[in-house]
Amino acid sequence: MATLTHFRLCPHSRSIRLALAEAGIEPVLRDERPWERRPGFLDLNPAGNLPLLELPGSTLLCGVYAISEFIAEETAGVSEHPQKMQLFPGSREDRAEVRRLVDWFHGKLHGDVTQSFLSVKVYAQFHAETRAPDADLLRALRASLRFHLSYVNFLGDQRRWLAGDDMSFADLAAAAQLSVLDYLGEVPWEEFPLAKEWYVRLKSRRSFRPLLEDRLPGQPPPSAYSDLDF
């Protein structure tokens, strides 16, 4: 059985959890606090980033890009399970667009917004930091988040799913990032109705249910986080 090393609010880990669930793979989950840079963890992945997927036979895959591509190759063209989602569907051009958007959400959205919100609202708690987050920083992060939500809104107006006609890993990457921000109560969904409509479709899938059940001790999400009709 596969083992996924993750942190509950790591968006990269969440996207892989979604991808595995869509592929019908149920891994054993192993919690890790990546900011601690634990020696045993660094022995497995010197880069120090999550997630890690350990496969039967001691194969170890490190990072969201390597793991997502592996899952895609494992499930591509599986005739006995044609109903299973393809992470990178369509033509070469279609797949290139999926990868562009994956990089946008897991690279730019994460770097612009999610990573900093996690640092000031989650990681600081584990470091026992009691000072309030910098107000100017929070304003800047919220403005940047609105920029990204406007882009999701635009894509939702132009396409059935973010990258085209079919759901893809681009949708899972975006939903994973936004689900973390939603857990932290930072997503102004009502200002972006098409983004909200798209997210509700993702949120209602069976693969999303374990994410909606995640909780951090002492830091519960808003009530709407688990509400499928929010």
Q: Is the pLDDT of residue 63 over 60?
A: yes
Burial tier of 118 (Cβ tally within 10 Å: 0-12, 13-18, 19+): buried
CA–CA separation, 16 vs 13, rounded Å? 5
Strand bridging mode 59-62 / 3-6: unpaired
Q: Is the pTM of this model over 0.85?
A: yes
- Do 170 and 98 contact (CB within 8 A), yes or no? yes
Q: What is the pLDDT averaged over residues 51-76?
A: 93
Beta partners for residue 30, in sequence order: 5
Q: Is the pLDDT of residue 131 over 90?
A: no
Domains and CATH numbers, the chain: 3-75 (3.40.30.10), 92-226 (1.20.1050.10)
What is the band of 133 on the pLDDT scale with cuts at 50, 70, 90? confident
Tell me the DSSP string of 159-200.
-SSSSSSS--HHHHHHHHHHHHHHHTT---GGG-HHHHHHHH
Q: What is the pLDDT averaged over residues 73-78?
A: 74
Tell me if the bond preceding 193 is cis, omega within 30° of 0: no
What are the pLDDT digits (tens) for 183-220? 999 999 999 999 999 999 999 999 999 999 999 998 99
Q: Is the pLDDT of residue 81 over 60?
A: no
More confident residue, 37 or 127: 37
- Do 14 and 106 contact (CB within 8 A), yes or no? no
- Do 214 and 176 contact (CB within 8 A), yes or no? no
DSSP-based three-state secondary structure for 52: strand
What are the pLDDT digits (tens) for 168-189? 999 999 999 999 999 999 999 9
